[in-house]
């Protein structure tokens, strides 16, 4: 089947994990090439918020690889299936079990619905090597499970992916920017063959258009074989920083390395550890057959880093590792002020009248977090972020994708954007470590043509006595921070307060 024949196929292409790092970039590439695409994820809202979410040739379906029935519905009628799901972010330490279950379900669904092929992106590394990691073992195992089904499977095996927003690149970037002196383990000298995200996408799309790739496994990599220490030097050269001083130590376990990465970068230890475990063995292509079947210009490490840095500077990071994972709407978020049988909902709110229209106030709200901060009590926010990191949370390190744009599903420091309705509503779910679940909601409502009302409401569903103690200990700080935030938001928008911030206490729901 030639590429033209592929385009003539009216069946859609299924892309699973559509809001993940790689899949989120593959979808627009396929759409630009004229394919009909069906995207599968656990949140329709999250997919709809993507730039491609309303494309006429895209169909959004809700599905979960852990639920075979929903997966069969998503697969129904599709020819090619991209399996680009990895449970490492959503399932943390339980990812191996989840990946086994998900790949079995995909093989069953593909067979049940008589799909033509499955294309899977796995990890590069010798499975027989003495230092093989659990993460790479799991990636290999997924491929084996998929191949047990009757549907032909194409497996692409990649090492480090260089691109703005990838977890590996974020680790490289933050370590190089923040550590002029590094205590380095042995793995910084290990050879690897990184590949630019552009080339990864080129191979993924190419496998759809070249049926001779079906049922085969290919190593994919860029033109350079380098050591990890060389990548640090390439990055610092690109951004104009001095080369980091590297002090070699004989023993630094992946566990210790991951904890250090957790403190310095936005990538939490639960994700960093599986990645660092895989750095203790060479990850080099052992064959290059794919280059003859799908020829493309392979991007050097230096050029890939330069492109990634340029995208970050221009705030054009299309997808990010933090995008992946389930966007969970707590059941009680829809309860309003009515009684909720799941427990006590604690609330703290402040409001103020602003001299100006809602449209003029919204840009300041839209820039909340990240480099902008929270318009008040910056030191308190930093302390809370540091405490979160120390206790195993994400802290403030994740920042935000763009300083001026938000979309549903975005990570924003230690929050997740649950709902966004410009210029009237921003709803954030706390992903910090707390003994309970927390929401922060900002609403802007017009009063008349020259005034609007801004409301800031925090809601918390405590877990046991620890949750209650947490809320009441922090309550005085909430009162101070929230009232000052309203003043700061107005000031940032260049608008005056028509009335000082006032506290209001919504009805507390009790079980």
Let me know whether 174 and 101 are in one domain.
yes
Q: Which of the pair, 179 or 358, is modelled with greater confidence?
A: 358
Q: Please check whether residue 238 is in contact with residue 305, taking contact to mean a CB–CB distance below 8 angstroms.
A: yes
How far is Cα 211 from Cα 154, in angstroms, rounded to an integer? 10
- Residue 195 pLDDT > 90: yes
| Nearest one of 407, 401, 441, 411 to 424, comparing CA atoms | 441
Token pair belonging to 133: 């990691």
Highest mean predicted confidence (pLDDT) among 80-84, 121-125, 246-250, 311-315: 80-84
Whether 505 shows a pLDDT value over 90: the answer reads no
pLDDT attached to residue 510: 42
Q: Classify residue 332: in a domain, yes or no.
A: no
Q: Give the CA distances from residue 448 to residues 353, 357, 498, 502, in Å, rounded to whole numbers and listed in that order.
A: 11, 8, 13, 20
107 in any annotated domain: yes
pLDDT band for 95, please (50, 70, 90 cuts). Answer: confident
Q: Do 354 and 254 reside in the same domain of the chain?
A: no
Q: Predicted confidence band at 100 (pLDDT cuts at 50, 70, 90)?
A: very high
Of 155-169, 313-327, 373-387, which range is least confident?
313-327
CB-based contacts of 334, cutoff 8 Å, min separation 6: none
Tell me: do 250 and 192 sit in the same domain. Answer: yes
pLDDT of residue 270: 74
- Residue-level pLDDT at 339: 46
Looking at the structure, do residues 310 and 429 belong to the same domain, yes or no?
no
At residue 345 the predicted structure's pLDDT band, cuts being 50, 70 and 90, is confident
Give the pLDDT of residue 174. Answer: 87
Evaluated on CA atoms 39, 44, 50, 55, the torsion sign reads positive
424 token code pair:
């009237």
197 pLDDT above the threshold of 50: yes
Task: Give me 222's structure tokens.
Answer: 């860029």
Same domain for 459 and 491, yes or no, is yes
| Residue in 121, 66, 120, 68 with CA at minimum distance from that of residue 94 | 66
Residue 396 CA, chain-centre distance (Å), reads 15
Beta-carbon count within 10 A of 34 CB: 10
Question: Going by C-beta distance under 8 Å and a sequence separation of 6 or more, which residues neighbour residue 184?
Answer: 229, 246, 247, 248, 249, 252
| Bigger pLDDT: 294 vs 329 | 294
Q: Do 66 and 205 lie in a common domain?
A: yes
Nearest 5°: the CA angle 226, 228, 230 is 60
Classify residue 509: in a domain, yes or no: no
Residue-wise pLDDT for 406-427, tens only, equals 888 888 999 999 999 999 999 9
Does residue 215 share a domain with residue 363? no
Residue 237: is its pLDDT beyond 70? yes
Question: Residue 490: exposed, middle, or buried by beta-carbon count in 10 A (0-12, 13-18, 19+)?
Answer: buried
Asked if the bond preceding 423 is cis, omega within 30° of 0, the reply is yes
Q: Give residue 318's pLDDT.
A: 80
Confidence of residue 131 (pLDDT cuts 50, 70, 90): confident
What pLDDT is recorded for position 16?
96
CATH number, domain with residue 363: 3.30.530.20
Band (509; pLDDT cuts 50, 70, 90) = very low
Residue 163 — very low, low, confident or very high, per pLDDT cuts 50/70/90? very high
Question: Count of CB atoms within 10 A of residue 503's CB?
Answer: 12
Residue 133 and residue 276 share a domain: yes
What whole-number distance in Å separates Cα of residue 169 and Cα of residue 228?
11
* pLDDT level of residue 1 (50, 70, 90 thresholds): very low
Length of the chain, in residues: 511
161-162 and 195-196: which strand pairing?
parallel
Tell me, yes or no, whether 325 lies in a domain.
Answer: no
What would the mean pLDDT of 334-351 be, rounded to a whole number? 68
Sign of the alpha-carbon dihedral angle for 30, 35, 40, 41: positive
Could you tell me the pLDDT band of residue 2, with boundaries at 50, 70 and 90?
very low
Mean pLDDT, residues 225-249:
90
Q: What is the CATH number of the domain that holds 126?
A: 3.40.50.720
pLDDT for the residue 5: 54
pLDDT at 33: 95
What is the pLDDT confidence band of residue 246, given thresholds at 50, 70 and 90? confident
Beta strands 80-83 and 58-62 are unpaired
Q: What does the pLDDT read at residue 398?
A: 87
- 3-state DSSP assignment of residue 5: helix
Which domain does 348 fall in, by range? 338-504
Is-contact 437 460, C-beta < 8 A? yes
pLDDT at 80: 97
- Structural contact between residues 184 and 247, judged by C-beta atoms closer than 8 angstroms: yes
Torsion sign over Cα 65, 81, 154, 125 = negative
CB 463 within 8 A of CB 449: no
341: which DSSP letter? Answer: T
pLDDT attached to residue 334: 57
Count of domains in the chain? Answer: 2
More confident residue, 80 or 508: 80
* Both structure tokens of 501: 């911030």
Question: Are the CB atoms for 435 and 329 separated by under 8 Å?
Answer: no
The reported pLDDT for the residue numbered 92 is 53
Q: Do 283 and 399 share a domain, yes or no? A: no
pLDDT at 392: 82
For residues 424 and 474, state if they share a domain: yes
Contact between residue 77 and residue 13 where contact means Cβ atoms under 8 Å apart: no
Which of 272, 288, 320 delimits the end of a domain? 320
Q: Which one of 289, 320, 351 terminates a domain?
A: 320
Give the pLDDT score at 337: 44
Q: Does residue 333 sit within a domain?
A: no
Which contiguous run of DSSP H or E holds residue 491?
Answer: helix 464-492
* Residue at 330 is within a domain: no
Please provide the average confidence, as pLDDT, over all residues in the chain: 88
**Are the C-beta atoms of 14 and 38 separated by less than 8 Å?**
yes
| pLDDT band with cut points at 50, 70 and 90 for residue 274 | confident
Whether the per-residue pLDDT at 511 is higher than 50: the answer is: no
Nearest CA-CA partner of 275 in 118, 160, 115, 415:
160
Task: Tell me whether residue 490 is in a domain.
Answer: yes
In the chain, % of residues over pLDDT 70: 91
Residues 403 and 357 in one domain: yes
In a shared domain, residues 231 and 144 = yes
Determine which of 66-70, 188-192, 254-258, 415-419 has the lowest per-residue pLDDT on average: 254-258
Q: Look at residue 511 and tell me if it is in a domain.
A: no
């Amino acid at each position: 089947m030639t590429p033209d024949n592929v385009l003539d196929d009216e069946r859609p292409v299924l892309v699973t994990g559509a809001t993940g790092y790689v899949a989120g970039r593959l979808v627009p590439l396929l759409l630009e090439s004229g394919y009909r695409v069906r995207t599968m994820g656990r949140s329709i809202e999250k997919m709809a918020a993507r730039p491609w979410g309303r494309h006429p040739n895209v169909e959004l379906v809700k599905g979960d690889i852990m639920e075979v029935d929903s997966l069969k519905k998503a697969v129904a009628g599709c020819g090619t299936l991209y399996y680009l799901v990895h449970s490492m972010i959503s399932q943390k330490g339980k990812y191996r079990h989840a990946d086994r279950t998900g790949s079995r379900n995909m093989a069953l669904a593909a067979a049940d619905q008589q799909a033509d092929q499955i294309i899977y992106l796995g990890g590069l590394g010798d499975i027989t090597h003495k230092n093989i990691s659990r993460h790479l073992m799991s990636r290999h195992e997924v491929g084996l499970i998929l191949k047990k089904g009757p549907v032909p499977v194409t497996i692409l095996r990649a090492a480090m992916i260089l691109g703005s927003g990838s977890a590996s690149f974020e680790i490289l970037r933050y370590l190089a920017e923040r550590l002029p002196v590094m205590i380095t383990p042995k793995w910084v000298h290990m050879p690897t063959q990184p590949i630019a995200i552009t080339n990864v996408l080129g191979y993924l799309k190419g496998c759809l258009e070249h049926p001779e790739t079906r049922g085969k496994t290919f190593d994919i990599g860029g033109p350079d074989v380098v050591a990890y220490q060389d990548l640090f030097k390439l990055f610092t050269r690109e951004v104009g920083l001095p080369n980091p001083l590297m002090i070699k130590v004989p023993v630094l376990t992946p566990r210790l390395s991951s904890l250090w990465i957790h403190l310095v970068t936005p990538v939490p230890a639960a994700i960093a550890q599986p990645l660092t475990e895989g750095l203790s063995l060479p990850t080099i292509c052992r064959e290059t057959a794919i280059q003859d079947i799908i020829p493309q210009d392979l991007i050097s490490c230096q050029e890939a880093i330069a492109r990634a840095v340029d995208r970050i500077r221009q705030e054009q990071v299309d997808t990010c590792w933090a995008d992946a994972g389930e966007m969970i709407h707590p059941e009680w978020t829809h309860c309003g002020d009515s009684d909720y049988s799941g427990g006590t909902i604690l609330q703290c709110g402040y409001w103020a009248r602003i001299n100006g229209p809602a449209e003029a106030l919204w840009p300041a709200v839209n820039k909340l977090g990240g480099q902008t901060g929270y318009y008040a009590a910056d030191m308190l926010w930093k302390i809370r972020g540091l405490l979160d990191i120390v206790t195993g949370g994400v802290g403030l390190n994740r920042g935000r994708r763009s300083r001026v744009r938000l979309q549903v599903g975005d990570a924003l420091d230690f929050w997740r954007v649950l709902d966004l309705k410009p210029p009237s509503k921003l709803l954030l779910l706390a992903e910090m470590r707390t003994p309970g679940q927390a929401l922060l909601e900002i609403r802007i409502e017009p009063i008349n043509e020259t005034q609007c009302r801004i409301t800031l409401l925090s809601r918390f569903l405590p877990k046991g006595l620890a949750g209650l103690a947490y809320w009441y200990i922090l309550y005085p700080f909430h009162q101070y921070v929230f009232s000052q935030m309203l003043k700061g938001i107005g000031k940032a928008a260049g608008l005056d307060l028509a009335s000082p911030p006032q506290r209001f206490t919504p009805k507390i729901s009790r079980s």
